[in-house]
Chain A
Amino acid sequence: MSELVTANDGSSLMPGAKSLENREYNLFIGPNHPGVEGNFALKLTLEGDTIVKAKTEAGFLHRGFEKLMEERLFIQNIAIVCRICVPDPDPNEENYARAIEALADIEVPRRAQFIRVLVLELSRLASHLFTFGGHAGTIGLYTMPNWSISDRDRILDLFEELTGGRVYHIYNMPGGVRRDFPAGFASRVRDVLDYIEGRLPDYDNLFFNNRILRKRAVGIGVLPRERAMEWGTTGPNLRAAGFAHDVRKDDSYEVYNELEFDIPTLKDSDAYSRLMIRRKEVVQTIGIIRQVLDKIPEGPVWNKQPNPLKWRVPAGDVYVRSESSKGEYAYYMVSDGGVRPYRVHVRGASVTHGVHILENLLVGTRIEDASQLMFSLDACPPEVDR
């Protein structure tokens, strides 16, 4: 019975709630709750307004991707991998394609590599804008999501133009990308970048420098650097803790090593600095995209691959990593030389942030900040569930 109550967003009473004498009671947040990112649940034990125990519950979005991939042809999986992380789907596609390329020793045309970087960074940009909106929503500043998410829509329009899909792009293929730029695309990307850059001061005024945001986010969910590394934090969350690790630099892929960008770090490692690190990354990302547009060479965008219905990837295994907007993404792919992958293991970026770290950081936090904390970690439930 107890776990069923989780379903109705806490609208029924938990058995524990009656025992108010010992001042501890249970509260479920989610899965139907705006305070969680996606379909995810938190089981909290509270004492007063303070959380004394926190458990996450995932699996509401479990589809068994890794199993499904084993039943599909290599090329068919391109259409499903992007579903693993909904707000930031492209690292999945790119990682999957790169794993096959590594196994089959396929060379990717340089133009395609640049386009991939462009798509990845646009996706990162979109994902960060989404997170800004989400984070602002948790503190009740609904103007910000209205702004940032509709600005994100401009990026989705670009995606639609380039890849034919707004959210799921199904665009990276083993050997390159599916289509070249449409005519005049680069200038439209620049327009959107200029637009978003122009919007950033507005965001600062409204949101990032908002007194109430500071009041609420500073000092929430502090994750010291040592602890962060011990707990396997990656990506922006680790950089917010002052450790400059970025897969794009340290384990460079595609053409990232030809592009100039910094790894911004902050040292406070609280909810606010995790938000601000993304704010800084937006600037970095815009810079990267501009460089891509400047440097992109002419040439083919796809290296011809065999008939997908009869394409056997040589046996072997490979571990590819990339930096998504949420952290380190990795695919471990095993091929037995058949037409289907033998095993694909997806290491979503949020598996550490969304489960272990969140559970630990929630303890001692007040109930008001629970959802803010989750959004600041930018944990993406479908990555955990797969």
Chain B
Amino acid sequence: MNSVIGLVVWIVFYPLIAFTVGVFLGGYGRKFTARVQRRVGPSWIQPFFDVIKLMRKRTNISHGYMHDISLMMLVSGTMLSLYFIPVPGFHYFSQFGDFVVIIYLLLIPSLGMALGVGETANPNGSIGISRALQMLFGYEVPFVLTFIGMAMLNGTTSMYELVQIQQSGGIATWGIVTHPLLGIAALFALQGMMNEKPFEVIIAPHEIATGPMTEMGGKYMGMMFIQHLINLFVELTIYANLFLGGAKNWFELLFKLFVLFTLILSVNSVFGRFRTDDAMRFMWKIPLPLAAIGVVGIMLGIG
């Protein structure tokens, strides 16, 4: 009974926690970038203000039901994937779902966005979405490969179990240590997944005026913002769980997330963005072979 209440509480509060962490991560990201740019930067919870603002705006533009549904897909995909990611104190669903589910769920937002933005019929949005789908192939393949590698290595496709294994074995069993190739490949893929420079082709304000977001205003944008913040948490936590040994407690998890995010932000703030084709080429040239070699190595039992 107790566990049922706990579960319900978690189901209700977990997204909020994820959102809160996302807000702080987002705020930290902006603060960090600002400091690299020699300026003070916004408040730590600036994304929170942004969300409130956006949700309170009049939203008079809808481009049909598909547009609205796409947003549901966007948010729900991220939320669902959230539940399948084990975090300290909550791994109920992640015991049942495995990598495949997570990867599947993570695809939903991109597809949803593609459907919705296609409906807005804005050429910038269309270009953005076509880029997004292209990039999906760019980062998803190496990422999936690293998943596979880790699964093969540990003999499980469950992220929960993976975390358990790494937790019990200490640092020496962390994915990044046991399989640095996969870890690095996944890091590149993560950079792409999180849409950070140099893989920021989807938004690219100077080229296609923020692409998919061009037509999004008010609450639509607010939803996207929430999704983005939760996504920050989701993606970073996946990586942390895979390669950084998950976490015993929230403090450890947050610490790992911040470290990881700092790494990504550092790259983000000192590089420009690739052209789409260059980004693809890069993804297929570096993380993909790395991941492939890693997987092959595991298959051959080198790992």
Instruction: Judge A-B direct contact (beta carbons within 8 Å).
Output: yes
CA distance A136 to B123 in the complex (A): 24
**Residues in chain B near residue A216, CB distance under 8 A:** 272, 274-275, 278
Q: Which residues 132-173 of A have a CB within 8 angstroms of B?
A: 136-143, 146-147, 150
Q: B76 interface residue, CB < 8 Å from A?
A: no
| A213-B272 in contact (CB<8A) | yes
Is there contact, CB below 8 Å, between A142 and B124? no
Q: Which of B121, B126, B215, B274 contacts A212 (CB 8 A)?
A: B274
Q: How far does the alpha carbon of A171 sit from the alpha carbon of B126 in the complex, in Å?
A: 49
Q: Which of B32-40, B52-60, B233-241 contacts A (4 or more CB under 8 A)?
A: B32-40
- Do A138 and B38 touch across chains, with their CB atoms under 8 A apart? no
Question: CB distance B122 to A143 under 8 Å?
Answer: no
In angstroms, Cα B34 to Cα A147, docked, is 11
Asked if B271 CB lies within 8 Å of chain A CBs, one says yes
- How far, in angstroms, from A138 to B208 measured CA to CA in the complex? 11
Closest to A215 in B: B278
A367 contact set on B, CB distance < 8 A: 127, 207-208
Is there an interface contact between B271 and A212, defined as CB atoms closer than 8 Å?
Answer: yes
How far, in angstroms, from A383 to B37 measured CA to CA in the complex?
31
Contact of A17 among B38, B121, B208, B214 (CB under 8 A): B121
Using CB atoms, name the residue of chain A closest to B130: A49
What residue of chain A has the Cβ atom nearest to residue B37's Cβ?
A146
Give Cα A222–Cα B108 distance, bound, in whole angstroms. Answer: 41
B205-260 contacts to A, CB under 8 A, are: 205-209, 214-215
Contact between B271 and A141 (Cβ–Cβ < 8 Å)? yes
CB-defined contacts of A141 to chain B, threshold 8 Å: 197, 270-272
Contact, CB under 8 Å: B271 / A11: no
**8 Å CB interface, B116-166 against A:** 121-124, 126-127
Decide if A13 is an interface residue (CB 8 Å cutoff). Answer: yes
Q: Are A13 and B123 in contact (CB under 8 A)?
A: yes
Given A35-B209, A146-B38, A212-B273 contact (CB < 8 Å) = yes
Interface size class of A (residues with CB under 8 A): 35 or more
Across the interface, do B123 and A143 meet the contact criterion of CB distance under 8 Å?
no
In the complex, B204 has a CB within 8 A of chain A: yes
A35-B206, A140-B204 are known contacts. Are A366 and B275 too (CB-CB below 8 A)?
yes
Which A residues are CB-close (under 8 A) to B270?
A: 141, 143, 206, 210
Judge if B97 is at the interface, Cβ distance under 8 Å.
Answer: no
The proximity string for A residues 200-211 relative to B, scoring 1 for CB distances below 8 Å and 0 otherwise, is 000000100011
Give the residues from 353 to 369 in chain A that come closer than 8 angstroms, CB to CB, to chain B: 366-369
**Which residues of B (260-299) have their CB < 8 Å from a CB of A?**
269-278
Is B15's beta carbon under 8 Å from chain A? no
- Please judge, given known A-B contacts A10-B122, A17-B121, A143-B37, whether A138 and B206 are in contact too, CB under 8 Å: yes
Interface centre among B38, B206, B275 (most CB of A within 10 A): B206
List the B side residues contacting A18 at CB < 8 Å. 121
- The reply on A14 being an interface residue by CB < 8 A is yes
Give A143 to B33 CA distance when docked, in angstroms. 8
Q: How far is the CB of A332 from chain B (nearest CB, A)?
A: 36
Residues of B within 8 A of A210 (CB): 270-272
The smallest beta-carbon distance between A21 and chain B, in angstroms, is 14
Which chain B residue lies CB-closest to A44?
A: B123
Report whether B37 and A140 are in contact in the complex, using a CB–CB cutoff of 8 Å.
no
Does B198 make an interface contact (CB < 8 A)? Answer: yes
Residue pairs across A and B with CB atoms within 8 Å: the count is: 104
Contact with B along A1-26 (1 / 0, CB 8 A): 00000000111111001100000011
- With a cutoff of 8 Å between Cβ atoms, the chain A residues found around residue B208 in the complex are 367
Given A10-B122, A10-B123, A14-B123: A142 touches B37 (CB 8 Å cut-off)? yes
In the complex, the answer to whether B269 meets A143 with C-beta atoms within 8 Å is: yes
A139 in contact with B37 (CB, 8 Å) = no
Contact of A100 with B by CB under 8 A: no
User: Which partner residue on chain B sits nearest A366 by CB separation?
Assistant: B275
How far apart sit A372 and B273, CA to CA, in the bound complex (Å)? 12
Query: CB-CB < 8 A to A138: which residues of B?
Result: 206-207
A316 within 8 A of B: no
Contacts of A27 in B (CB 8 A): 123-124, 127
Across-interface contacts of B275 in A (CB, < 8 A): 215-216, 366, 368-369
Is there contact, CB below 8 Å, between B124 and A140?
no
Given A140-B197, A367-B127, is A212 in contact with B205 using a C-beta cutoff of 8 Å? no
Residues of chain A within 8 A (CB-CB) of B271 are 141, 210-212
Identify the interface centre among A17, A26, A140: most chain B CB within 10 Å of its CB. A140
Using an 8 Å CB-CB cutoff, how does the interface string of B37-52 with A read, 1 for contact, 0 for none?
1110000000000000
Set of chain A residues within 8 Å of B36, measured between Cβ atoms: 143
A371–B121 alpha-carbon span in the complex (Å): 22
Q: Which residue of chain A has the shortest Cβ distance to B204 in the bound complex?
A: A140
CB pair B198–A212 under 8 Å, yes or no, is yes
Q: Which residue in chain A gives the minimum CB-CB distance to B278?
A: A215
In the assembled complex, A125 has its CB within 8 A of some CB on chain B: no
Distance in angstroms between the alpha carbons of A210 and B126 in the assembled complex: 30
B-side contacts of A366, CB under 8 Å? 275, 277
From B38, B123, B207, B274, A215 is in contact (CB under 8 Å) with: B274
In the assembled complex, the CB of A212 is this many whole angstroms from the nearest CB of chain B, namely 5
A140:B200 contact, CB within 8 angstroms: yes
Nearest CB of chain A from residue B128's CB, rounded to whole Å: 11
Task: Report B69-125 residues with CB < 8 Å from chain A CB.
Answer: 121-124
Q: Which one, A14, A212, A213, A368, contacts B207 given CB within 8 A?
A: A368
By beta carbon, the residue of chain B nearest A32 is B209
CB-CB under 8 A from A139, the residues of chain B are: 206, 272-273
Bound Cα distance A33, B214 (Å): 11
Kindly list the 6 A-B residue pairs having the minimum CB-CB distance in the complex, ordered from nearest: A139-B272, A146-B37, A141-B272, A140-B273, A35-B206, A138-B206
**Which A residues fall within an 8 A CB radius of B?**
9-14, 17-18, 25-27, 33-35, 49, 136-143, 146-147, 150, 206, 210-213, 215-216, 366-372
23 contacts between A and B (CB under 8 A): A9-B124, A10-B122, A11-B122, A11-B215, A14-B123, A27-B124, A34-B205, A34-B206, A49-B127, A49-B276, A139-B272, A139-B273, A140-B200, A141-B271, A142-B37, A143-B37, A143-B270, A210-B271, A215-B278, A366-B275, A368-B204, A368-B207, A371-B207
Instruction: Give residues in B with beta carbon < 8 Å to A.
Output: 33, 36-39, 121-124, 126-127, 197-198, 200-201, 204-209, 214-215, 269-278
Q: Told that A14-B123, A49-B127 touch, could you supply 4 new A-B pairs with CB distance under 8 A?
A: A10-B214, A212-B198, A369-B275, A371-B206
